């Protein structure tokens, strides 16, 4: 008698508790809607497309802000950069 293989139930990822419109996301980031639309067009920010609508997960907005963080320059990094120019 052949062994019966039991199918594992597929796990469905949980939906985000809150999805923001492009206007709400722009307000939350304190940026213009135009800037956010450009970031979407250039695929620099994660978004969800529901039909023709675009929605943002607040966690994705936080990840976008964190990924674009620039560390301040120190005196050591300034001098190291000047040495490589000369």
Half-sphere exposure (Cβ direction) of 46: Cα atoms closer than 13 Å: 11
pLDDT band per the 50, 70, 90 thresholds, residue 7: low
Q: Domain map of the chain by residue range?
A: 16-69
Helix, strand and coil in the chain, % to nearest 5:
45, 10, 45
24 pLDDT band, cuts 50/70/90, is: very high
> Where would I find the H helices in the chain?
22-29, 33-41, 58-67, 75-85
Task: Please report where in the chains the tokens 């929605």 appear, as a residue.
Answer: 55
Residue labelled with tokens 């990924």:
67
pLDDT, tens digit, 9 for 90 and up, residues 33-85: 999 999 999 999 999 999 999 999 999 999 999 999 988 888 887 777 676 65
Asked whether the beta carbons of 21 and 55 are under 8 A apart, the reply is yes
- pTM (predicted TM-score): 0.69
Taking residues 8-19, what's their average pLDDT? 79
């Amino acid at each position: 008698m052949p062994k019966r293989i039991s199918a594992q139930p597929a796990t469905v990822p949980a939906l985000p508790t809150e999805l923001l419109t492009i206007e709400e996301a722009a307000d939350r980031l304190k940026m213009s809607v135009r800037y956010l639309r450009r970031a979407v067009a250039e695929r620099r920010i994660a978004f969800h497309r529901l039909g023709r609508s675009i929605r943002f997960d607040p966690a994705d907005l936080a990840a976008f802000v964190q990924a674009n963080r620039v560390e301040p320059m120190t005196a050591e990094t300034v001098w190291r950069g000047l040495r490589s120019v000369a």
